[in-house]
Amino acid sequence: MLQPALNAPTPALLDALTRVVGTAHAVRAGDPAQGKYLREWRDRYVGASPLVVRPGSTAEVMEILRLCHAARTGVVPQSGNTGLVGGQIPFESGTEIVLSLDRMTAIRAVDADGYTLTAEAGVTLAAVQEAARAAGLMFALSMASEGSACLGGALATNAGGLSVLAHGTARAQVLGIEAVLADGRVFGSLSSLKKDNTGYDLRDLLIGSEGTLGIITAATVRLVAAPKDVATAFAALPSMDALVPLFRLAQEQAGPGLTAFEFMSARAMEFVAKHGQVSVPLGDAYGPCSVLLEISTAEADRAQPLIEAMLAEALDRGLMTDARIAASAAQQAAMWRLREQMSDVQKHEGGSIKHDVSLPVARVPEFLERAAAIVERVCPGARAVPFGHLGDGNVHYNVSQPVGADKAAFLAVWEPMSEAIHELVAAMDGSISAEHGIGRMKREALRRFKDPVALDMMCAIKSALDPYGILNPGKVL
């Protein structure tokens, strides 16, 4: 898509934007306080901006966009800044305004009888979960970064996380959306209706659009009943070939009660055992592949017998070599911390090239075998560190630098490595982005692998809703 020409903000525009939010909530270029808004946690993207504005209300977001729309100046929306593809970071040109939603942190309403909650975009996922628990219910969107990841960003990227197997992606949690369009108008549909078949689903259009069609300022999300019993287990498998049969057995035994099925390669376990702040349940006997699985039930004292029976049958069938069932809530939390540290511990091993892809579940072991050969061909000695959410086919196919290699030299092969991995994914009927989005990192890959008709439709929608291209310019399209 040809990006319309945008204007750098004039001093008059910067002053007008500052008046909208107040000087205490406007951070000019050169102020060290800008730093946390300009750098993503992997340090792959570091941008620049003449002004970071932090509105405290939807009305202020409306006025900011009205002014920038009139001036033809780009706006980069941001909430928790936990994105992994650079979508929330301004370009290095220093001509875009950063609009941070980190002051919009109100839980507007909780309807326990209707199983809904309405919150603003800057509320962390952990805070939404806590508000749901206080009402005796559960918010099902969960991920390792939930203490800092915010609702607005999670919806803008249609985040996945750890509960997709049972509850679906972020999109499945949403009933209503409030968003400000490029020209400052508000799409205010915070309805809690479970059924509304009145025309196009504009809510789902905005979810996953990465701030390129509108800036989400609030959402009404669905809550679910908290399970009465949860059983968590860590299992060692004899090979990757046992992964899919074990998953099928778990589904047959637990049905919809199977709420998580995470896999971790031997190298991923090696890294977390070496650098993580947790103990590994089976010591060094984690084998070529490990699985963290969870069964949740609506009946008390039901999950534990289910998981015990399933693991016993898996052992009889030779699908696992050993397992440990969490005996307490503390042990459950420790097992999940192990899984959640998979990304962080890789920093200790030098440069890491990241891929977030999805495959048909049955083909995940085949993909892992074929991808390993690609890694060795592109960069001999590089170490594949795959792990992910097997239940929805989501593989985090990360590649760490060879031992003793130069980090910068290794990261220089990011593009050929990703291109080769993405070609394999496409050949296996997969997706080059499972839950992280497109942002800056995968924009060129999207043009290569996305259906041309679908791309034309996306460009037409973008042009209709944001004709001057001010919303998150240069991202996605």
Q: Residue 449's pLDDT is what? A: 94
Model confidence pLDDT, tens digit, residues 332-389 = 999 999 999 998 899 999 999 999 999 999 999 999 999 999 999 999 999 999 999 9
Tell me the whole-structure pTM to 2 decimals. Answer: 0.93
Model confidence pLDDT, tens digit, residues 222-256 = 999 999 999 999 999 999 999 999 999 999 999 99
Q: What average pLDDT does this structure show over 153-181?
A: 94
Other CB atoms closer than 10 Å to residue 276's CB: what's the count? 18
Q: Is residue 286 very low, low, confident or very high in pLDDT (cuts 50, 70, 90)? A: confident
Model confidence pLDDT, tens digit, residues 30-42 = 999 999 999 998 7
Whether the Cβ atoms of residue 77 and residue 99 lie closer than 8 Å to each other = yes
Q: Is residue 284 very low, low, confident or very high in pLDDT (cuts 50, 70, 90)? A: confident
Chain length of the chain = 477
Q: Residue 1's pLDDT is what? A: 63
Q: What is the CATH number of domain 107-225?
A: 3.30.465.10
What are the tokens at 95? 């001509």
Q: Residue 196's pLDDT is what? A: 86
**Lowest-pLDDT range of 63-67, 84-88, 212-216:** 84-88
Q: Residue 277's pLDDT is what? A: 82
Rounded to a whole number, what is the largest CA-CA distance in the chain? 74
Q: What is the 3-state secondary structure (H, E, C) of 28-60?
A: ECCCHHHHHHHECCCCCCECCCCEEECCCCHHH
- The more confident residue out of 198 and 421 is 421
Q: In the predicted model, is pLDDT for residue 280 greater than 90?
A: no
In the chain, domain spans: 107-225, 229-340, 350-436
Q: In the predicted model, is pLDDT for residue 110 greater than 80?
A: yes
- Cross-strand partners of 150: 124
Domain 350-436 fold is Alpha-Beta Plaits (3.30.70)
Whether the Cβ atoms of residue 143 and residue 125 lie closer than 8 Å to each other = yes
What is the percent of the chain where pLDDT is above 90?
90
Whether the Cβ atoms of residue 269 and residue 290 lie closer than 8 Å to each other = yes
Q: Residue 143's pLDDT is what? A: 87
Report how far residue 254's alpha carbon sits from residue 459's, in angstroms, rounded to the nearest whole number: 43
Q: In the predicted model, is pLDDT for residue 2 greater than 70?
A: no
Other CB atoms closer than 10 Å to residue 66's CB: what's the count? 16
Q: In the predicted model, is pLDDT for residue 15 greater than 70?
A: yes
Collect contacts of 464-467 with beta carbons under 8 A, ≥24 apart: 465/181, 465/182, 465/213, 465/214, 466/181, 466/182, 466/212, 466/213, 467/4, 467/182
* Domain 229-340 indexed as CATH 3.30.70.2190: yes
Question: What value does the CA radius of gyration of the chain take, rounded to a whole number of Å?
Answer: 23
**Lowest-pLDDT range of 36-40, 139-143, 194-198, 367-371:** 194-198
Model confidence pLDDT, tens digit, residues 93-105 = 999 999 999 999 9
Equal CATH topology for 229-340 and 350-436 = yes
Of 443, 449, 435, nearest to 462 (Cα)? Answer: 443
Whether the Cβ atoms of residue 10 and residue 51 lie closer than 8 Å to each other = no
Model confidence pLDDT, tens digit, residues 414-459 = 999 999 999 999 999 999 999 999 999 999 999 999 999 999 999 9
Q: Residue 63's pLDDT is what? A: 98
